[in-house]
């Protein structure tokens, strides 16, 4: 910490400075001698360093690190939880804080041993209590901070060789934290998905002189971050927004996850606390946690604000996806815009080419898993396409700007930098996906890059090659969006055709009317009052509806489609109930 620095000493500053000291104190650490905030900390215990950085007032900030969590969490999770639950747990933490500050001034080693034994007991009990909280998924910023403090206390206990606590007990606590964070992570993002909403409407401008008096309006909104994309189109059909809204929701969701990871990433360093005692110790985090996508970006999904649906007419929506791995080379062709991008991987795999234009060739080479890799990407969009891209490496060097859209400010419609994630560049670009389109002027340069998304993976992940899960985007090009709609009425019969998936569904109504669909199995003798469907359970996978189960008012049921037997389910337990 630079005492002459007049900026606010934030939660991120405190955590980053502390983790830098941790890396430098661990023997043979790959991060040693990097980002040392103040070398005086190298001569005191790690716990004393934590107490000073987390709890001693900075000249420009009187709040300790736990109070600062409220500001950190406000754009990550539920604001009501931040105001109520965090205040409660901050108050509960005060006895531990008091013990920590007392420890800072204890000189006698035997008294330190007694004091640290008391701290270990109090921290263990606190973790047990907070883990049982029913709102625990919203407290992740708090539990990440507490875990770092807890592990520092445990490490000090090992250093002092206190009785009844050894390396095996420490590793058991690490394992419990791993399970805790894995469960909380999954619960949180199940909730987070529902915070991105859409709504549509049709308006009629009676004063319009245009042939089209109807206008379709749509909105995608992230309620947590207060991001909004608004769309309008000269149409009387609001269903035209489905495809682009799926991509916008996905972009907002992955951005929320990327922002979350900037706070959450510190849990991947928890094993560093025992590396002085067992250097080879490691734990394997699920790849769904240690890697994440950001995007897709395109002129239709980005930036936030108002969009005209007609501007998307030259986008192909042919999004392709690479399997993740260690990228060794990226080829880019570009001129006034980015014509194509293609990644190459460690195992000899050649990634899918995004775009097919033929501008000047640029090669980003000599990339690997740990010594030279990409940690961030800059993008600029305009003329309906990706116009400029720049890759940033873990050593701070860059490729420079590729594609000359950046030279024409008036053509730029949006720009963004993705990454780096964390001060220590622990996340490596591991996959690129995207799709093509044509330039939005009266010239044809072939298919260029219209959509692009990037996957980042923690460099210490045990497994480096796997089939990723990128919901919606990897199958969106195979969805027709030809949604049909029946007029409602009393259903008397349903015909289905199914095998491993649901092939057709067709409903028949009381007046003899037939809905759109196919034939196969028949559910008959339905009416308005004695036999009717009350629940429809749906299971999705392989890009389609794979199983449907109807439950009738008498409790009996009928199930169609075999996807539930094939272990390829991507979504389930959706219920539609009639009342």
Domain chopping of the chain, boundaries: 11-192, 215-251+281-478, 491-577
418 pLDDT more than 80? yes
30 pLDDT more than 90? no
pLDDT, position 542:
62
Residue 127 burial (CB < 10 Å; 0-12/13-18/19+)?
A: middle
Tokens 């000599």, residue located: 366
Q: What is the DSSP letter of 80?
A: H
CB atoms within 10 A of CB 348: 7
Report yes or no: 2 and 9 within 8 Å, Cβ to Cβ: no
Domain 215-251+281-478 class, CATH top level: mainly beta
3 pLDDT more than 90? no
Average pLDDT, the chain: 86
pLDDT digit string, tens, across residues 450-494: 999 999 999 987 543 444 445 444 444 455 555 555 677 788 888
CA separation, residue 520 to residues 208, 492, 535, 560, 563 (Å)? 48, 16, 21, 11, 17
For 491-577, CATH number? 2.100.10.30
How far is residue 305's CA from residue 219's CA, in Å, rounded to a whole number? 10
pLDDT digit string, tens, across residues 276-286: 899 888 888 88
Sign of the dihedral through C-alpha 365, 391, 296, 249: positive
CA separation, residue 200 to residues 69, 193, 195, 220, 475 (Å)? 36, 19, 17, 9, 24
Token pair of 566, please? 């094939």
Token pair of 236, please? 């009387």
How far is residue 357's CA from residue 196's CA, in Å, rounded to a whole number? 35
Mean pLDDT of 100-111: 92
Q: Do domains 215-251+281-478 and 491-577 have the same CATH topology?
A: yes
pLDDT, position 486:
67
566 pLDDT more than 80? no
Mean pLDDT of 27-47: 65
Euclidean distance between the first and the last CA atom of the chain, given in angstroms as a whole number: 62
28 pLDDT more than 50? no
pLDDT, position 465:
40
Mean pLDDT of 63-74: 89
Structure confidence at residue 39 as a pLDDT band (50, 70, 90): low
Length in residues, the chain = 579
Supply the DSSP string of 145-207, one letter for each residue: HHHHHHHHHHHHHHHTT-TT--HHHHHHHHHHHHHHHHHHHHHHHHHHHTTEEEEEEEEE-TT
Residue 267 burial (CB < 10 Å; 0-12/13-18/19+)?
A: buried
294 pLDDT more than 50? yes
pLDDT, position 357:
84
Mean pLDDT of 102-131: 94
328 pLDDT more than 90? yes
Most confident of 57-61, 516-520, 573-577: 57-61
pLDDT, position 196:
97
Structure confidence at residue 27 as a pLDDT band (50, 70, 90): low
How far is residue 216's CA from residue 285's CA, in Å, rounded to a whole number? 45
pLDDT digit string, tens, across residues 204-252: 877 777 666 889 999 999 999 999 999 999 888 999 999 999 999 999 9
How far is residue 121's CA from residue 77's CA, in Å, rounded to a whole number? 30
> Percentage of the chain surpassing pLDDT 70?
85
How far is residue 508's CA from residue 488's CA, in Å, rounded to a whole number? 10
CA separation, residue 364 to residues 34, 368, 370, 456 (Å)? 26, 11, 16, 17
Task: Considering only residues 34 and 10, tell me which one the structure prediction assigns the higher pLDDT.
Answer: 10
CA 325, 329, 333 angle in degrees (round to 5)? 125
Strands in 196-204's sheet, in edge-to-edge order, are 196-204, 214-222, 227-233, 305-308
How far is residue 172's CA from residue 75's CA, in Å, rounded to a whole number? 33
pLDDT, position 567:
44
Tokens 């250093």, residue located: 159
């Amino acid at each position: 910490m630079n005492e002459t620095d007049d900026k606010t000493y934030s939660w991120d500053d405190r955590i980053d400075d502390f983790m830098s000291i941790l890396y430098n104190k661990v023997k043979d650490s790959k991060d040693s001698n990097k980002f040392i905030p103040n070398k005086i900390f190298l001569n005191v215990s790690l716990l004393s360093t934590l107490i000073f950085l987390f709890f001693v007032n900075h000249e420009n900030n009187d709040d300790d690190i736990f109070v600062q969590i409220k500001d950190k969490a406000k754009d990550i999770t539920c604001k009501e939880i931040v105001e109520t639950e965090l205040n409660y747990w901050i108050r509960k933490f005060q006895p531990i804080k008091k013990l920590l500050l007392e420890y800072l001034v204890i000189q006698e080693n035997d008294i330190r041993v007694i004091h640290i034994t008391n701290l270990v007991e109090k921290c263990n009990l606190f973790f047990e209590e907070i883990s049982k909280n029913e709102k625990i998924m919203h407290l992740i910023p708090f539990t990440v901070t507490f875990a770092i403090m807890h592990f520092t206390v445990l490490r000090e206990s090992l250093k002092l060789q206190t009785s009844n606590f050894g390396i095996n007990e420490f590793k058991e606590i690490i394992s419990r934290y791993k399970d805790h964070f894995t469960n909380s992570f999954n619960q949180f993002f199940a909730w987070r998905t529902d915070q991105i909403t859409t709504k549509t409407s049709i308006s009629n401008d009676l004063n319009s002189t245009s042939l089209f008096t109807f206008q379709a309006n749509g909105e995608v909104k992230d309620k947590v971050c207060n991001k909004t994309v608004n769309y309008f189109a000269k149409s009387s059909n609001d269903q035209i927004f489905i495809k682009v809204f799926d991509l916008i929701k996905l972009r907002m969701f992955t951005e929320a996850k990327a922002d979350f990871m900037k706070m959450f990433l510190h849990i991947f360093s928890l094993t560093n606390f025992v590396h002085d005692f067992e250097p080879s110790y490691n734990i394997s985090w699920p790849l769904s946690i240690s890697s994440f996508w950001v995007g897709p970006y395109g002129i239709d999904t980005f930036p936030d604000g108002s969009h005209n649906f007609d501007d998307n007419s030259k986008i192909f929506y042919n999004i392709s996806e690479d399997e993740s791995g260690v990228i060794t080379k990226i080829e880019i062709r570009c001129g006034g815009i980015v014509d194509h991008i293609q990644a190459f991987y460690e195992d000899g795999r050649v990634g899918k080419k995004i775009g097919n234009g033929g501008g000047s060739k640029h090669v980003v080479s000599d990339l690997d898993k740990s010594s030279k890799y990409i940690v961030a990407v800059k993008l600029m969009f305009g003329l309906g396409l990706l116009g400029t891209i720049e890759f940033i490496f873990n050593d701070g060097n860059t490729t420079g700007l590729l594609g000359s859209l950046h030279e024409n400010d008036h053509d730029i419609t949006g720009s963004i930098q993705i990454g780096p994630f964390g001060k220590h560049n622990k996340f490596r670009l591991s996959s690129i996906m995207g799709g093509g389109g044509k330039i939005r002027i009266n010239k044809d340069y072939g298919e260029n890059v219209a959509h692009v998304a990037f996957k980042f993976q923690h460099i210490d992940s045990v497994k480096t090659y796997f089939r990723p899960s990128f919901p919606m985007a990897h199958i969106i090009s195979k969805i027709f969006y030809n949604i049909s709609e029946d007029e409602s009425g009393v259903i008397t019969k349903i015909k289905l055709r199914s095998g491993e998936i649901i092939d057709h569904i067709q409903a028949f109504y009381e007046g003899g009317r037939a809905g759109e669909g196919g034939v196969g199995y028949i559910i008959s003798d339905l009416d308005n009052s004695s036999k009717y469907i009350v629940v429809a359970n749906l299971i999705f996978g392989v890009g389609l509806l794979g199983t449907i189960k109807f439950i009738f008012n008498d409790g009996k049921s009928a199930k169609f489609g075999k996807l539930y037997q094939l272990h390829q389910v991507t979504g389930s337990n959706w219920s539609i109930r009639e009342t």
